[in-house]
Amino acid sequence: MEETLPGITFGFIASGLLLGLAIGFVLQRGRFCMNTAFRDTIFIKDLTLLRGYLIALLVTILGANLLNDFEVISLAVQPFFPLANIIGGYIFGLGIVLAGGCGSGVWYKIGEGQFNAIVAVVGFFTSIQATATGVLNPLYKLLRSVRVPVGEINNPTLYHLIGDSPSVKWGVIAAVVIAIGIFVLMGKPFSVKKQKGFTWPLTGLMLGLLAVAAFWAASVWEGFPRGLSFTTPTGELFYTLLTGGAMPENHPLAQVFPMYAFGSFTVTWASFFIIGVPLGAFLSAKILKEFKWKVPPVDELLTVLGGSMMMGFGAMVAGGCNIGQGITGSSTLSIGSIVATISIILGNWTMVYFKFIKPMEDM
């Protein structure tokens, strides 16, 4: 007998859309894209957006772990797949430079009227699908066939390298937070001048608070505390639009995220979240009078398409994108998420060097 899926509620739809609207608004108002944050550190020696990202990570680490320890949510820590985390993350990092935006960046830039962002999202989904259930799936399975535990812990975190007690956990969290805090304070966040949009400290703070809210909202309305992510939700939304079902049965994550009935369709909570992101960015762009349709040349669109397809493959293999691994996953101190994030940064720097820095040096 076919299993009857639970139906969705008003809160299910509203919480997803409102969170997405808020994320899109903050990203656009703060002009925040982690591709830019990583790129600027070596291209123009500017650490501003990187510090904004680290504020978001710091807030999410504290908020997510407090919610977990007070049993408001139950954090799901990603396993450590060394080949997948390193290779997938590195390829994703290469791709975001070519695509002109990271997983969150391409979604919010649609709300600014950037046609290349639409192309990037389409390429992103196409490659996600090809990796999850299509021609690239054998490579996906191969790279994720190597899983490394720490002792008897199958989902190891940084503190599992030392021990597994609450005191060890919070000792490691304190060390990480202090290190991040010192680096952020070196950027003098309390003396940043006002600007047209949000300042980088405010953007990082708000993004971190929304990431924590996403853990709670997903736990309440979806039944799984997935937090913020863009890779899997992109696939879920397009799967629903194209096939009527959020995930095919042979999808590697089909048994992870709960599905809900919406008429004859199956949807996930994150499908509504992802819809809200460009809408929130559009609202911000219209208020700031920054919305304008922009269509780049065909050769640039082809580069964007190629980069976005690298993003989809890399993010699916690595277990998440810059947000899914760089904030949500890393907030659990998952070794796999941290390795994937470092690999994304290294991939970004590699492509920035060959695409921007080396041509300038050769002139």
> Whole-angstrom distance between the N-terminal and C-terminal Cα of the chain?
68
Cα separation, 224 vs 59, in Å, equals 21
Segments making up each domain of the chain, as ranges: 10-362
Half-sphere exposure of 249 (CA within 13 A, CB side): 0
304 Cβ neighbours under 8 A, 6+ residues apart: 98, 99, 100, 116, 119, 120, 123, 296
Cα separation, 206 vs 282, in Å, equals 18
Q: What are phi and psi of 267, to 5 degrees?
A: -135, 170
Per-residue pLDDT of the chain (363 residues; tens, 9 = 90+): 346 788 899 999 999 999 999 999 999 999 999 999 999 999 999 999 999 999 999 999 999 999 999 999 999 999 999 999 999 999 999 999 999 999 999 999 999 999 999 999 999 999 999 999 999 999 999 999 999 999 889 999 999 999 999 999 999 999 999 999 999 999 999 999 888 899 999 999 999 999 999 999 999 999 999 999 999 999 999 999 999 999 988 999 988 889 999 988 999 999 999 999 999 999 999 999 999 999 999 999 999 999 999 999 999 999 999 999 999 999 999 999 999 999 999 999 999 999 999 999 887
Does the predicted model carry a pTM greater than 0.85?
A: yes
359 Cβ neighbours under 8 A, 6+ residues apart: none
